[in-house]
Amino acid sequence: MNYISQIAAFITAVVLLFVVPAYRMSWVVDQAVLKQVGYETQEFVNAIRHKGFISRESYEGFVTGLSKTGNVYDIQLKHTRKVYYPLKPGDPDYSPTHTYTIVNDEYYTKQILDTLYINHNDYLMKKGDSFTVTVTNNSRTGSMVFLSFMGGAPETSMIFSKYGGMIVNEDYSD
């Protein structure tokens, strides 16, 4: 009996003295990283929205900013382009007050990065388009490791950030 209680006390002591504080600390660090990622993403999206194009410099600045947090991220870019098509009388949606239709074309990370790195061009967008960035953490952060160690279900990703908005300018020449 004495033996069991000693082992129990020992395990509890280890958990309380080392594991729990370490987990708490890493959780706090993760929260700080989450804030930083959110901030970087918002900064990037707003810069792009007010300029109307993505350049290699701006994209790499964003990636560098993220990498300073020490994790690996999956960055998804999405550009929704509004294309205006005319409607003829006789088309199903046609009415005298509604003579054109808007189609949303979506372009994703691959097309955008191909433009930047294979064609060596800036990726240009038009006023009124949408631009969204989603950042997900891909690496296992400290708190996830501890959580699974203690038998908790590791959350798929603690760090997740999504920002988007309308392109409000076409300032290509700067």
Partner 1 sequence: MKITDLALFVLLIFLGVSIKLDMDQRRLIQAEELKTRYNEVMFTATEDATMSLLQPDSNTTEDILKLGYDKRYMEVNPNLDRAIERFYETLYENMGIENDKVAQDAFKMHVPVKVVIAYDGYYVNSWHEVYNSSTGKNELLEMWSPKKPYSYYDVHDKLVVNFTLDDLVYIYNLQTGAMQSERRAQLSASYPGALFSQTSFDNVRRQTIVECIQKELGYYSVRYNNIAKQLGLGYIYSIPLIPEDAWSNTIKSTCFIAFLQGLPVGAQSYNTYGFGGARVVAASMYFGNTINGINYYHEEGCSQAAGSNIKFDSRREAAQNGYYPCPVCKP
Cα 29–Cα 32–Cα 38 angle in degrees, nearest 5:
140
**Looking up tokens 């000693």, which residue turns up?**
6
Assess 9 for contact with partner 1 (CB under 8 A): yes
Direct distance between the N- and C-terminal alpha carbons of the chain, in angstroms, rounded to an integer: 78
Assess 26 for contact with partner 1 (CB under 8 A): no
Single residue of 109, 140, 164, 170 touching partner 1 by CB under 8 A: 164
The rounded distance, in Å, linking the Cα atoms of 31 and 138 is 16
Question: How many angstroms from the chain centroid is the CA of residue 50?
Answer: 19
Task: Give the interface segment with partner 1, choosing from 63-71, 84-92, 142-150, 162-170 (CB under 8 A).
Answer: 162-170
Assess 115 for contact with partner 1 (CB under 8 A): no
Assess 99 for contact with partner 1 (CB under 8 A): no
Bridge partners of residue 93, in order along the sequence:
none
**Which residues contact partner 1 (rule: CB under 8 A)?**
2, 5-6, 8-9, 12, 16, 31, 34-35, 38, 42, 128, 130, 132, 134, 162-166, 168, 173
